Structure 1
Amino acid sequence: MKLKKIKAIYLGISIILGFVFTVSFLTVYVSDAINRGNACGCFIPIPYMILILSSLGLFVGFFSFYLIVSKQIKEKKSFTKDINELLNFLESDERVIINILIKNKGKLNQSKFETESGLHRVKIHRIIEKLSLKRVIIKTKVGKINKIELNPSINEVFVEN
């Protein structure tokens, strides 16, 4: 998935660099024509060339933005679909807890689960104990607070950096 994102970024950068090269070449061509006193003898008159280059710049900018953003939106939709398919091995309540952790970047205090899930405190405690035994989450006691984290290997897969 990261490889596709990198390819899209490289494609966008190469399109922009191609545009910059074209503008640079045409600028040198026009300045050379002006220095020779041949300003109106260009293949394309200078006022039209400025208009064409600015329009081309807008087109290249929008096109490269569209390429990069549309791929990221498609990846995000397929990623969300993949998450739900991967979580099918869990019970529905366990899935709710994991989804809450994913939304909170893999870390959350146990007390916050009650407000976010709508489940009772005891039920949340039991679910967290089950997930901890399955090594899906890591429960760390900090004073009276239980910090719940996704297992680092699972966190890598599900949580976006």
Structure 2
Amino acid sequence: MDLLLDEIESPLGVMLLAAGGGMVHGLEFADNGPRLRASLEARYGAVTLRSAADPHGFSGRLRAYWRGDLGALSGVPVEPGGTPFQRRVWAEVQRILPGATRAYGEVAASLGQPSASRAVGLANGRNPVCLVIPCHRVVGARGDLTGYAGGLPRKRWLLAHEGASGKTGARLLRS
């Protein structure tokens, strides 16, 4: 599989964006580069990443997000791979709007599987397209800031950037 790779500066460090066929296949912080490669190779076997500036315009949309256009990533086509359950979780997570959060249990309930909050957490943790599939918007049952592959300080920053509010927003930003 041949994919295009761009490195994008962000307030939280360099990001790696892998795209091809008009879709984003991976988006990770550069310090999680091995995770990106492992995810791509698990899906496609041998992967060739060729450096490209702004593949399919996705890097520009990511830069717009960092500048404050919180809707810039909405509708970006993704190919995250995954099991049918993971894909359902990721599709549901994409419905969480900027500035909002939902608990793992709420996501599970919306999938018709209210007892599957741990499975939702595992799927969320395997998200290979961060930000576009906004896994940082999923929080603990009491609104606590919980796991994020990019690290909790980044999750906190992202939620503040998006103006997280509501029942969990204040707790998240203090956590």
Both proteins in one fold, TM over 0.5 = no
**Structure with max Cα Rg:** 1
User: Between Structure 1 and Structure 2, which shows a larger proportion of strand residues?
Assistant: 2
Using the size of structure 2 for normalisation, the TM-score is: 0.28
